[in-house]
A and B are shown apart, each in its own frame.
Chain A
């Protein structure tokens, strides 16, 4: 086995001596925030907050849609987002998920399942509204074709191969 002389390097001697700012003159601003007083998030917790407005607890936002809230708090927050309230089967799954605490992995796994169900519901809703989604465009197919034509060709060939095999298999079964 070859002997690795690098292993004889001193284990405890620090190679890091004092720094000479002249060595870093080519780097704009080197060391300007060496002093922790110049670092805006030091210390991590700093009171009072440096905001240019007097802060007081915000009033409660009126609730106009269903908002699910974590069981690790007593109710909804004074301010919240209202986009895409829970609905359909995915909404039901989300309501079940929110019965578990954030400390419970079932909550998060149920939410991931709900997300996938919601995707299917989205496809069904699209078709129900007379809109067949252009999956090629939604997945950025034009960018792939423009910037990675070889990859786009590979994907098209793979898709054609899978479709061909499926068609051949289906035809075989139809004859039986």
Chain B
């Protein structure tokens, strides 16, 4: 089959000879991929920042497709079902899954206990191949995937596998009260959806911070929010306090993670020298820009070691810090309701559709933010666009 293949930092290529996946466990299914996306967090892999990213791996944790084979124990799915596959690989039965912490599943990742299983996201998250391919192995097929409702557009469905639930959970972890001022750092897909979700929870103001002008223009229109270009600001904490009557934001959301721009020291130590687990610029800004007693919600991805953050300020301000990978499955029913009610139209953020054969160009386009790229969908050969 054709599959994206990682060859080293900033190098990927289509491999037309990757062996087809096989059933390896009675609860597996094999899914023919009909759409996959490149996620912002795939770029951390692409840039070589995630430990144990092996050459020859296939990325891709945002995908939908059609079931072509099921293991002997699979009950809910049949060949031909169109399915939406959450990015978490989870068992549904362990201590954490029993509490709906599906992203923290304890049964699907032998390589690390700090993170659950994720498709196509290095051996640090279980060593699974991802969905930027024609076919993919889907473990625990009865608990992870859901059948795509007939009325749901497939472009909306593919964004329900990660980007939209992650943005929604970011807002949810901010514990937003009606009228709250919510600052979202990052105008990528997750930040855009976090801004939209903050309104659903009754925010009074939503402010999105980034430095990429075309993305700020997009989010201003799409999420009807205020925007700040941090390149035009001397000091982020002072700027946001001036915008919030000198109190600070009620809720700050980190939708950027370990490759944040905006601080030479953080970039040098976190990205270039790898002396910390990525650039913690946004965490620094979020803690120092939140009001006392405020909430910080983190969905941006960081590495497994340590980061330079002003934790003393978080203590003295009485902040609540909440964070997790999204447990996608628990959000799906509500988010599908929102799409059907017209509150959300996720497919509007898709800017590029690229044949899987051109995956290297697609990664470069997204990574370098060329051609006003916000979200790229990869289409395997033989699948209608």
Contacts and interface: CB of A to CB of B under 8 A. Distances in A.
Interface stretch (A108-116, A157-165, A168-176): A108-116
Given A32-B343, A102-B113, A147-B371, A115 B54 contact: yes
Contacts of A64: 24
Contacts of A67: 110-111, 127
A22 interface: no
A81 B117 contact: yes
B25 interface: yes
Interface in B81-106: 89, 91-94, 97-102, 106
B385 interface: no
Interface in A115-133: 115-116, 118-119, 121-123, 133
A44 B172 CA distance: 10
Given A55-B143, A102-B112, A34 B201 contact: yes
Interface in B46-74: 48, 51-58, 73
A76 interface: yes
B111 A68 contact: yes
Interface stretch (B212-220, B258-266, B308-316, B357-365): B357-365
B80 interface: no
Contacts of B9: 119
Contacts of A29: 199-200, 338, 341-344
Contacts of B324: 44
Nearest to B12: A138
Interface string A13-27: 111111100001011
B100 A84 contact: no
Nearest to A145: B361
B114 interface: yes
Interface string A75-112: 11111111110000010001000100010010011011
Contact of B107 (A30, A39, A57): A57
A119 B8 contact: yes
Contact of A18 (B11, B94, B179, B197): B179
A33 to B, nearest CB: 4
A51 B110 contact: no
Contacts of A40: 172, 330-331, 333-334
Contacts of B93: 55-58
A137 interface: yes
B128 A83 contact: yes
B179 A81 contact: no
B247 A49 contact: no
B178 interface: yes
B318 interface: no
Contact of B370 (A42, A44, A135, A148): A148
A13 B94 CA distance: 48
B318 to A, nearest CB: 15
Given A118-B55, A119-B7, A135-B11, A61 B274 contact: no
A30 B248 CA distance: 23
20 contacts: A13-B245, A19-B204, A32-B343, A38-B334, A45-B100, A50-B100, A56-B93, A64-B24, A68-B111, A68-B123, A77-B109, A77-B110, A83-B127, A83-B128, A84-B123, A102-B304, A105-B305, A114-B52, A138-B12, A138-B13
Interface of B: 7-13, 24-27, 48, 51-58, 73, 75-76, 89, 91-94, 97-102, 106-114, 117, 123-124, 126-129, 139-140, 142-143, 169, 172-173, 178-181, 197, 199-202, 204, 224, 242, 244-247, 250, 274, 303-306, 322, 324, 327, 329-331, 333-334, 338, 341-344, 358, 360-365, 367-368, 370-371
